Amino acid sequence: MAELICLAPEYAAEAAVWSERYGLTAATVERLQQPGFHLCLGGDGLSLREGAGGKAVVRVDFAAGATAHRRRFGGGLGQDIAKAVGVSGAYQPSVIDATAGLGRDSFVLATLGCQVVAHERQPVVAALLDDGLIRGRQDVEAGEIVRRIRFSFGSSHTLLIPEADMARRPDVVYLDPMFGEDAKGSAQVKKDMQAFRSLVGGDADADELLDAALQAARCRVVVKRGRKAAPLANRAPSYALTGKSNRFDVYVLAKVAPLAE
């Protein structure tokens, strides 16, 4: 069971709430003397902190850093993710981000005007994302965007339920299976990805998720892959958008447009 370290006594009540919500057990600050990454609660919210003297800290912050830069200078509708999902000036599709992780792509899609439901099943990652969304909604600049994201804790294998009523289906289901990078890129992994690897390993059951996504989506399924990675479940997409390091495989079911009345 995952642990939560409360960095000061004044956060004990809040720590108890997080522990109850995500099934975490309490740990003392002495755990930070051990190697690896540890979930901590302090004055800046939840974070993953590197133990044994390491300095790496991973937080979800939609109002600052790389996320804020992407919000201001991300390229808008010209981004490959916007093209893959089918965002246009006339229509912003609803999206389920079925493997949300730290919510970076959910935030990009919300920045583009999409209403996003973000699923995450790993308790520590889910807690980090939930905490970031709570703080993000309170930010003056990012709040309007973050409020377009609704979070659900759990596995998309069970949360992606096909709806008989097309009006209730998401237009798009978006998948970014963890650690689907090209093998040659795995030696240069950022600190947050190192933390993820130590916590959750890989998405060994990601292939099974493609069928569930195709049954749940109304218009299309989009799968983010490493540039040279094999298609998910070895199923060829309708088409792909390939960038410098990533590729978006698009499985077309219908035109991305409002549901005809």
d(CA 95, CA 152): 13
Residues 40-62 have pLDDT tens digits of: 999 999 999 999 998 889 999 99
- Residues 44, 165 within the same domain: no
Segments forming the whole domain that contains residue 22: 3-58
List, for residues 88-133, the tens digit of each pLDDT value: 999 999 999 999 999 999 999 999 999 999 999 999 999 999 999 9
| 261, part of any domain | no
- 177 belongs to a structural domain: yes
Work out the mean pLDDT of the chain and round it to a whole number. Answer: 90
User: Distance between CA 248 and CA 250 in Å, rounded?
Assistant: 6
Domain CATH number, residue 172: 3.40.50.150
- Exposed, middle or buried by CB within 10 Å (0-12, 13-18, 19+), for 133? buried
- pTM score: 0.91
Report the domain count for the chain: 2
Q: Do both 38 and 112 map to the same domain?
A: no
Q: How would you list the strands of the sheet with 149-153, edge to edge? A: 149-153, 116-120, 95-97, 172-175, 220-226, 246-252, 239-242
Residue-wise pLDDT tens digits, 148-168: 999 999 999 999 999 989 999
Q: Domain check: are 20 and 82 in the same one?
A: no
Residue 12 lies in a domain: yes
Q: Which residues pair with 116 in a beta bridge?
A: 95, 149
User: Hey, is 239 helix, strand or coil?
Assistant: strand
- Residue 137 and residue 234 in one domain: yes
19 and 120 both lie in a single domain = no
- Provide the pLDDT for residue 185: 46
Judgement on whether residues 182 and 85 belong to the same structural domain of the protein: yes
The answer as to whether 223 is a domain residue is: yes
Asked whether residue 108 is domain-assigned, the answer is yes
pLDDT of residue 76: 82
High-pLDDT (> 70) share of the chain, %: 85
Residue 75 contacts by C-beta under 8 Å, 6 or more apart in sequence? Answer: none
Residues 103 and 218 placed together within one structural domain of the fold: yes
Express each pLDDT in 198-238 by its tens digit.
666 666 788 999 999 999 999 999 999 999 999 999 999 99
Share of the chain above pLDDT 90, in %: 77
